[in-house]
């Protein structure tokens, strides 16, 4: 999934890190075993939620954010809904 922005990499990454911190506090009880690692403009992450392991990567570039995540087959039927929510959140955050 890709979302374009006009913020530059540093500002986009700052906003994403801030929002992820807020999400951790708000939804920490729903996501366990959270691991995240930033390396330059790339976030690698994995966590457990509702018995499901999620792993992925987010790459922050000068003009877009790319997000890819792997979810188990049993969650696949919710993929479009999840993507729609993430696109809306990223669009608002990076506007």
| pLDDT (tens digit per residue) in 14-32 | 999 999 888 878 777 778 8
Answer whether residue 13 shows pLDDT above 90.
Answer: yes
Distance CA 84, CA 23 (A): 17
Contact at 8 Å (CB) between 55 and 70?
yes
The predicted pLDDT at position 1 comes to: 92
Of 54, 65, 17, 8, the C-alpha closest to 32 is 54
In the chain, where are the structural domains located? Answer: 2-93
Q: When comparing pLDDT for 29 and 77, which is higher?
A: 77
The predicted pLDDT at position 46 comes to: 92
- The answer to which of 2-11, 43-52, 54-63 has the lowest mean pLDDT is 43-52
């Amino acid at each position: 999934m890709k979302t374009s922005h006009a913020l530059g990499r540093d500002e986009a990454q700052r906003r994403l890190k801030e929002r992820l911190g807020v999400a951790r506090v708000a939804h920490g009880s729903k996501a366990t075993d959270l691991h995240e690692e930033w390396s330059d403009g790339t976030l690698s992450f994995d966590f457990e939620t509702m018995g499901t392991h999620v792993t992925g990567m987010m790459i922050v570039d000068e003009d877009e954010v790319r997000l890819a995540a792997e979810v188990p087959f049993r969650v696949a039927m919710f993929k479009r809904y999840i993507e729609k929510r993430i696109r809306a959140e990223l669009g608002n955050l990076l506007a």
